[in-house]
Structure 1
């Protein structure tokens, strides 16, 4: 049995280390403080008995648990990231442990009247009676993805301590900068040496995902002309008004707040402007590749139309692909999803197989030659003050890792 107290202690030791990543930085890792947890993880992997523990100049960590069977078994991997999102502060995290959650409001911070309520976060009710770890309302928690790291380390420790559980060679990998889209950029797939892997980076218990968005970023630059407003007739061109035309010309209901499941969207997430120049930053998302390409074409066509309307180039739109739907790379090897699904069923966990409305390191790794579905890590409400994780979910995810290793090693 995996010790609950041991899991809690390990998880808290991770989340109390600030590892927030920085999209404005060009270094890897993007913040120096990510090394604090990275170096701790290297020491911990060695201390539990992992072999070939390495950390490279970019803080990518790899380690091996050797096979304990005689027959040939595929080499599998488990991967998580140790950075936390820059969307909300991860400094001075003060976790709170809620034993035997009673299904009522949880006061995170009495002084600031910050309350985690099932009236708003209905998922809380499925964990009634369990032990929750929450924030104190002033930071995120970091279960994304330190819960995943805790699960992988704990599973490896358990397998080392229980050699009666048969498994093939297992590789583990921990990455920086996933939250800013760079987690897989410098991941050495060949060095890792796995036939396939799983990212432990999903949310609620049971999640199993092998589909994600196709993703692109768009920067729309609108050019205007500034003239003294007293003498501006037929001369001044206000870039902000043109930008408004661009915004209003895209379908208003195809935005994140109006879409779900497989529905894609345009998401305007940043505006910065004045009369002479306005910049719009969008992300474009769709599970279907044809629809994804069509969305990009809509933005480019709209740019051409407005430039034609104004008789000159007032808008420049630059679109950059970010990642693609890993479904294309997973479907030819669907047995790797089947194994994870069977592992959950044998542990009385109901698999929730659904598309990710986002991306994961696994999507990029799949296109780098390492098929990599995503498995739940247990947390909820990522990237904000209301983040929480049930300890029982961390334990279950740890058990799933062990069971996947065991099933993969079966001779049939």
Structure 2
């Protein structure tokens, strides 16, 4: 199931744009042409530099209200701030909470057009280490198994997108297998910076005003907690935080975190019968009775799920943390009710106590984007000017754009060319990254 497509036709101005980009066949650029674009080497250089900066965020500290959750996130923020200044952006700054902001004024032809904001996040997930990333470049990838130094093997036969990269003799970037790569979302950061650099090098290219925000702590779910709305003038925005080329994401999960605390009645195990209540057993029973066909590993597409994320337990107290995900509000209400009922039932079965606390994390951005269809229409036009048909896929997760849309700033998501996020088998396609940068350039000129 996909969103409806809006008809599009090219105009005369696009012919001039093709000349500016110095390619005679922009509408059907193949992998070699994308890898040969003037800004692709700079894009690769930026990406390799950025992934080597350790920016792993800390979900525990973020949940306690610390933004940025890890001071190491400031290292990349500082680098980006200085690079934005060198590119000529105005009002460049990094806030106390580690949001890096910059403003690129419009050229004369776009002086009366409203600005928009481009966003990407600088942190990487804390589930897999992002320290000391050592990227490996695989040029003209031919489909052979990628044997990484730390015992990790990437196989094209097990990854349809990697198989496609092999067919196209793409340039692929991986880590050495001891860490994740960090394409989520340093590919997006590099692509935005590359587009800005393009306009800096080509002052003759007309474009609208652009605001940029590089945010911390997206991976902890707190990326927009301290976003500097006082600096942001744009009424709409775009995150660059997606995956495979062509993906254009306008809907995502509704997301809640559920914390269930079980209280038992500990007693010496030798004389436990008949009145001991073991909180460990209660929590295990609760998790076991969640619908097993509604877990992340058993669902896809538009199917929601219950995701057990953490369990801390001893005989007296056990705390289980679940992520609840559903694309509809009605479905989410049912999921929360099921958690409440199962927790209550568990308490009754064992004779202990159970308390449930639900916290909303983000909402589906679909409703907000439907109120401002031009935001997506402009992005569709930018895709088609790059010779690619948008593919509307639901985000089985969320982005900073989810939160921004909820705040009244509609914000769809653009692909980055990264794959297998949050893992040691993460990889990125350089041609897809170049395509994403091209789309950003297009977008700024619509």
TM-score (norm 2): 0.88
Q: Which residue of 2 aligns with 1:113?
A: 151
Superposition RMSD on alpha carbons, in Å? 1.5
**SS at 1:204's partner residue?**
coil
Instruction: Work out whether residues 249 and 414 of structure 2, in 8 Å CA contact, stay in contact via their aligned partners in 1.
Output: yes
Runs of 4+ in 1 over 3 A off after TM superposition: 305-311
1:317 paired with 2:356, answer: yes
Q: Which residue of 1 aligns with 2:217?
A: 177
Q: Which residue of 1 aligns with 2:12?
A: none
Counterparts of residues 242-253 of structure 1 (less than 5 Å): 242-253=282-293
Counterparts of residues 278-293 of structure 1 (less than 5 Å): 278-293=318-333
Instruction: Work out whether residues 2 and 395 of structure 1, in 8 Å CA contact, stay in contact via their aligned partners in 2.
Output: no
Instruction: Work out whether residues 120 and 240 of structure 2, in 8 Å CA contact, stay in contact via their aligned partners in 1.
Output: yes
> How big is the shift at 1:140?
0.8
Q: Which residue of 1 aligns with 2:422?
A: 383
Please give the alpha-carbon distance, in whole angstroms, between the structure 1 residues aligned to 2:285 and 2:228: 45
Equivalent of 1:223 in 246, 263, 270 = 263
Q: Which residue of 1 aligns with 2:164?
A: 126
> How big is the shift at 1:299?
1.0
Q: Which residue of 1 aligns with 2:56?
A: 20
Instruction: Work out whether residues 189 and 369 of structure 1, in 8 Å CA contact, stay in contact via their aligned partners in 2.
Output: no
> How big is the shift at 1:306?
3.5
1:143 paired with 2:183, answer: yes
1:271 paired with 2:307, answer: no
Q: Which residue of 1 aligns with 2:43?
A: 7
Deviation digits for residues 125-174 of structure 1 (CA, Å, limit 9, x no counterpart): 11120111110000111111111111111101112222332221111110
Please give the alpha-carbon distance, in whole angstroms, between the structure 1 residues aligned to 2:388 and 2:316: 57
**SS at 1:329's partner residue?**
helix
Instruction: Work out whether residues 199 and 372 of structure 1, in 8 Å CA contact, stay in contact via their aligned partners in 2.
Output: yes
Instruction: Work out whether residues 249 and 394 of structure 2, in 8 Å CA contact, stay in contact via their aligned partners in 1.
Output: yes
> How big is the shift at 1:63?
0.7
> How big is the shift at 1:62?
0.9
Please give the alpha-carbon distance, in whole angstroms, between the structure 1 residues aligned to 2:368 and 2:230: 17
**SS at 1:174's partner residue?**
strand
Please give the alpha-carbon distance, in whole angstroms, between the structure 2 residues aligned to 1:242 and 1:175: 40
1:67 paired with 2:110, answer: no
Please give the alpha-carbon distance, in whole angstroms, between the structure 2 residues aligned to 1:36 and 1:62: 15
Please give the alpha-carbon distance, in whole angstroms, between the structure 2 residues aligned to 1:271 and 1:57: 33
Equivalent of 1:394 in 433, 440, 443 = 433
Equivalent of 2:407 in 347, 360, 368 = 368
Q: Which residue of 2 aligns with 1:410?
A: none
Please give the alpha-carbon distance, in whole angstroms, between the structure 2 residues aligned to 1:132 and 1:306: 49
Deviation digits for residues 221-246 of structure 1 (CA, Å, limit 9, x no counterpart): 11111222222211211222222332
Instruction: Work out whether residues 114 and 137 of structure 1, in 8 Å CA contact, stay in contact via their aligned partners in 2.
Output: yes
Equivalent of 1:350 in 389, 392, 401 = 389
Please give the alpha-carbon distance, in whole angstroms, between the structure 1 residues aligned to 2:320 and 2:280: 10
**SS at 2:148's partner residue?**
strand
Counterparts of residues 331-342 of structure 1 (less than 5 Å): 331-342=370-381
> How big is the shift at 1:275?
2.0
Which shows bigger deviation, 353-362 or 227-236? 227-236
Q: Which residue of 2 aligns with 1:406?
A: 445
Q: Which residue of 1 aligns with 2:89?
A: 50
